[in-house]
Chains A and B, each alone.
Chain A
């Protein structure tokens, strides 16, 4: 039973446009959410996070939105650049003090077309 779901395995966006990656979760005990970016043969790289007490967090071209009532979060990248092409993982942490690790989605492969 997947607790974190990324329903789009891949997404293709034109360079300069907005990329929107979506993530849904089922466990209401999750209170901290992160997005990681992964290139082939590398480990996941931290991008941005959001606490459940907020509904938006912005860092440069990256913005994460959290809708707690819908158990949905999204990552917006604007403008999209060729170097953004990668697999993006949504991850969630419960209220177990961090000791239970992160729960990841299956990832969305973002392809930025020139």
Chain B
């Protein structure tokens, strides 16, 4: 079956531009996570959805970052007025159920470069 897919795979933005990153989770997966991975670092948690509800957005670095999952499947991470420090790989992951000890399956990521 299809895994988690993300688009675009690569995005170059000029500083100040808005960008939108898309995630298609595994069909039927309840939980969806966004992570940010800077060069040479491990992924860092940004936000979590259970179906369409955004239950945790404590990892979003600023109010320029906004995520939504309106129908409980596809999710979009939007970054407004991009800054150079936003350059990173943005990873999406999904898991079948909510709750602890659920394996998260990752997409290939979107590599964002802000010039």
Contacts and interface: CB of A to CB of B under 8 A. Distances in A.
B109 A43 contact: yes
Nearest to B95: A98
Nearest to A43: B106
B98 interface: yes
Interface residues of B, number: 33
Contacts of B56: 99-101
A101 B42 contact: no
Given A32-B100, A41-B108, A93-B101, A100 B45 contact: yes
Interface stretch (B33-41, B70-78, B80-88): B33-41
A111 to B, nearest CB: 16
Interface in B1-42: 4, 6, 31, 33, 35, 40-42
Given A43-B109, A44-B43, A103-B45, A93 B33 contact: no
A44 B105 CA distance: 8
Interface string A15-59: 000000000000000011010100001111110010100000000
A44 B101 CA distance: 17
Interface in A57-114: 89, 91, 93, 95-107
Question: Interface size class for chain A?
Answer: 20 to 34
Nearest to A9: B40
Given A41-B108, A43-B106, A98-B95, A93 B42 contact: no
A102 B91 CA distance: 12
Given A43-B4, A89-B42, A105-B42, A100 B48 contact: yes
Nearest to B9: A41
A3 B6 CA distance: 28
Max chain A C-beta neighbours (<10 A), residue from B35, B42, B98, B99: B42
Interface of B: 4, 6, 31, 33, 35, 40-46, 48, 50, 55-56, 58-59, 91, 93, 95, 98-109
Q: Would you list the 6 A-B pairs with minimal beta carbon distance, nearest first?
A: A104-B42, A101-B45, A43-B106, A98-B100, A32-B101, A43-B108
Interface of A: 4, 31-32, 34, 36, 41-46, 49, 51, 89, 91, 93, 95-107
